[in-house]
Structure 1
Amino acid sequence: MPEVIFTGPAGRLEGRFHPSKQRGAPIAVILHPHPQFGGTMNNQIVYNMYYAFAERGFSVLRFNFRGVGRSQGGFDHGTGELSDAAAALDWAQSINPEARACWIAGVSFGSWIGMQLLMRRPEIEGFISIAPPANRFDYSFLAPCPSSGLFVHGDQDRVAPLKEVMALIEKLKTQKGILIEHAVIPGANHFFENCVDELITEVGIYLDKRLDNPTKRPTPARALKGPASEA
């Protein structure tokens, strides 16, 4: 899990990168929750999704948005963070020029940024969107959604209540040419406290199905109980 520093629009960005040993391996970029509510690349959901992708042969990058950790700059209400995400994908592609595919995954605020990046980068062929706050941020740009993917919510989410997000998901499900799947984790709140294992299990099931059940690659040991939950 080497530390990396790469250039973003507002200065350096701090990240962690797991390179795949397989030539032409797909890329995944993982985006963390809201920077102003404690969100970092060490969020336990981000941390565990990072390894879920790595175990399936991806070259994976997670990083801190501008103003978080050692990343330079300051919070920019989504506009700058989207530019950061684009720079992160550019960097990952420069390291893996033969990558055959790209995925994007995001948690809460990171989901909103990730879905915007999805609209701008046609090479992104899959997404994982965890607890998207469609009641707080405008997702109307998904018209249409260009790629298939998975939404995951907790049924006890009071920050982004499930009933307020279902309209977005049901709308996307009517589109032709893509397949939108939706998993609900019983008893989980917005931060998936005490439910991270169940969340990562759902993500793994979806990835295995999309990837035709590949053999998981060995990766460095990870602690399922990562850093404290964040917004």
Structure 2
Amino acid sequence: MLVRETPLFIDGPSGPLEALYLDVADARGAVLICHPNPVQGGTMLNKVVSTLQRTARDTGYVTLRFNYRGVGQSAGSHDMGQGEVADAQAAAAWLRAAHPGLPLVLMGFSFGGFVATALAGRLEVEGVALQHLFMIAPAVMRLTEQFPVPQRCPVTLVQPDADEVVAPTLVYEWSDSLSRPHELLKVAECGHFFHGKLTDLKDLLLPRLSN
């Protein structure tokens, strides 16, 4: 039987945040997924975000994806930085409260990769242990000094090598500059939105979520 996500609203710093939540029996963890740039049409229904959600579901994780402020039915207006990270922090707090005993995984695509990474840094400062951070074609140029990168949780970076939105060289240089251990996975002949490569993305994530 197909299990569908449940629509709900989460209390956010600028008002209610529209979300989709999936609970699973005997979950191995909880995954929060952050969507791409809202100014460029990004929402929680983006096909890469949907692939991340299904991959996490198929490996036994509770999932939560949500719309940032000003997207879909979420209250507020775009902030393009601190505001969206604060929205993600509220979503993470809701997920942790709903499943206090489960390890937390963060995933983000494009702008959402920046949001998830910035959130991971915030949570680490607060003493929250993360199981894993997955950055998918992340907007690393937004990760300035005001958004510290987490130092303790495992990090996997997935970058298409023909990305037309986030220059691969920027991501590779950013990866090279990181002093902390992390995993960089390059996807050959692949554009930013993983057209024709969503199965490849899922195949990269499945074993890393299953361990």
Structure 2 residue aligned with 1:137 = 142
Query: Shift of residue 74 of structure 1?
Result: 0.6
Superposed displacement of residue 16, structure 1: 0.7
Q: Give the equivalent residue in structure 1 for 2:32.
A: 29
Residues 1:194 and 2:196 are matched in the alignment? yes
Q: Does 1:86 align with 2:89?
A: yes
Q: Which residue of 1 aligns with 2:74?
A: 71
Q: 1:5 Cα deviation (Å)?
A: 1.0
Alignment partner, residue 109 of structure 1: 111
1:158 is matched with which residue: 160, 164, 172?
A: 164
1:69-97 CA distance string (max 9 Å, x none): 11111101211101100000011111112
Question: Counterpart amino acid of 2:191?
Answer: N
Residue 104 of structure 1 aligns to a residue whose secondary structure is strand
Q: Which has the higher mean CA deviation after the structures are superposed, 85-94 or 137-146? A: 137-146
Contact 2:118 2:143 in 1 (8 A): no
Task: Kindly indicate whether the alpha-carbon contact (under 8 Å) linking 1:118 and 1:146 is maintained by their aligned counterparts in 2.
Answer: no
Q: Could you report, residue by residue, the CA deviation over 1:127-166 in whole angstroms, capped at 9, with x for unpaired residues?
A: 11000122x3234444563321211111111221211211
Residue 126 of structure 1 corresponds to 132
Unaligned segments of structure 1, at least 5 residues: 212-231
* Deviation of the 1:171 alpha carbon: 2.7
Counterpart CA distance in 1 for 2:206 and 2:112 is 19
Q: Is the CA contact (8 Å cut-off) linking 2:24 and 2:60 kept in structure 1? A: yes
Counterpart pick for 1:11 among 11, 15, 19: 15
Report the secondary structure of 1:121's partner residue.
Answer: helix
Structure 2 distance, partners of 1:139, 1:56, is 33
Q: Structure 2: which 5+ runs fail to align?
A: none
Give percent identity, aligned residues only: 29
Residues 33 and 110, structure 1, Cα contact 8 Å, conserved in 2: yes
Q: Which residue of structure 2 lines up, in the alignment, with residue 148 of structure 1?
A: 154
The 1:144/1:21 distance shift into structure 2, 3 A limit, reads closer
CA 1:144–1:15: 2 relative to 1, 3 Å? closer
What is the alpha-carbon distance in structure 1 between the residues aligned to residue 12 and residue 143 of structure 2? 25
Residues 73, 44 of structure 1: alpha-carbon distance in 2 compared, 3 angstrom cutoff: same
TM-score, L = length of structure 2: 0.90
